[in-house]
Amino acid sequence: MLVGYVMMLKQGASLVFTKYVQILTYPVARLPAQVSLTNIFNLRQGLRFFSYLFNS
């Protein structure tokens, strides 16, 4: 029961994560390289945040 709940939670988090990545990478395709670098940096910060969530 608990394992199923954790799996569901992780699945939901990964759905949120992919949406988050889409939102961050969408401007990258449309904006100049200088701005997209900022987005890549933000994405890395987001990844660090998510890994922190999963490890805690």
More confident residue, 42 or 32: 42
Query: Which whole number is the average pLDDT over 1-11?
Result: 82
Phi, psi dihedrals of residue 31, rounded to the nearest 5°:
-110, 165
User: Locate tokens 């904006």: which residue?
Assistant: 31
Tokens of 6: 């954790």
pTM of the model: 0.35
Residues 6+ apart with CB under 8 A from 40: 28
pLDDT value at position 33? 56
pLDDT value at position 23? 77
